[in-house]
Structures are given as C-alpha cells and as structure tokens.
Amino acid sequence: MRQVRLIGLALLIAGVALIAAAVATGQGQVYLLLFIPVYVGTGALGMLGILVVFIGFFLASLGSAWRGLPVPVAPAPEPTSPPDVAVPPAATAPPAKYGGVVMLGPIPIVFGSDAQVAKWMMILGLILAGFVIASFLILSLAALP
C-alpha cells in the first residue's frame, strides 16, 4: 500500500514537471483567478501533464484509503495471570484536544474540540487573516508607479 502512495506522489511530481515544461515551451499558460491558480494547456504536453497529475492524485488517495482498511489477523491468545496476583485497573488517558484553521483567502474557518481550543484557533485565524490582508496591501502599494 505504501508503494501505491509513493507511485502516486512520483506521478504528481512528474505531472507538475510536465505542466511546467508545457508552460516553458508555450504549450500552456498559468493564470491566477483571485487566489486559485488556473492552467490552460493548448498542446499534447500540457494534456499529458494534466492526465499524469490526475492519475497521481488518484493513486495517492487510493494508497491512503487502503492504509485505513483493517488487515485480518488471527486472534492472539489471552494472557493468563496467576490467581494470587491482582491486576491494577488501567489508567485512562485524558481525551485529546485538537483544533485547526483553514484559510480561504483572507477568511479563516475555525474548528476545535472544545471552546478553549476553538478560541485560540480563532485568534490564530485572525492573525493569519491580518497577515494576508497586510501583504496584499503592501504588494498592491509597491506595484503602484
């Protein structure tokens, strides 16, 4: 399964290289629509690059999906303890706290496992949004004559 993911990653890299070669030879153009890169290919090299990227993405996703499937294993025999030895109860670990920020342009989308983590993610999202807006303004002012 790991080999499928590695092949997928290699095909993704090869596809990006083919797209770059198509742009370099004039068989394709790259545009930026808002913050989304758009590629327009006019030749066979560009079409091959897109095809290889799609196949690589499919294989990398397939390899990751296979990783989550359970592997059938024969059940192990249960260990027996001597009757005179008391087994202490297992300590339970505290639940994990998690959170994250997804940036769509300058707009932060925040999630968290509890209110405190979500609050810190919102603060982080606002800071990142400030950096995005500030860098856009600085670059826009630098481009003025």
6, 37, 63, 89, 144 from 3: Cα distances, Å? 5, 30, 8, 41, 50
Count the residues in the chain: 145
- SS3 state at 38: strand
Give how many domains the chain has, as a whole number: 2
User: Measured in Å, how far apart are the chain's first and last C-alpha atoms?
Assistant: 55
Q: For residue 53, is pLDDT > 80?
A: yes
114 belongs to a structural domain: yes
Q: What is the pLDDT of residue 31?
A: 84
Do 17 and 61 lie in one domain? The reply is: yes
24, 14, 6: which is closest to 48 by C-alpha?
14
Burial of 129 (0-12, 13-18, 19+ CB in 10 A): middle
Q: What is the model's pTM?
A: 0.46
Q: Is 110 in the same domain as 54?
A: no
Domain limit, last residue, from 24, 47, 67: 67
pLDDT of residue 76: 64
Residue 133 resides in a domain: yes
pLDDT band, very low/low/confident/very high, at 74 (cuts 50, 70, 90): low
Which residue among 11, 44, 67 closes a domain? 67
pLDDT for 129 beyond 80: yes
Q: Is residue 86, in this structure, part of any structural domain at all?
A: no
E strand intervals along 60-120: 99-104, 107-112
Domain span including residue 49: 2-67
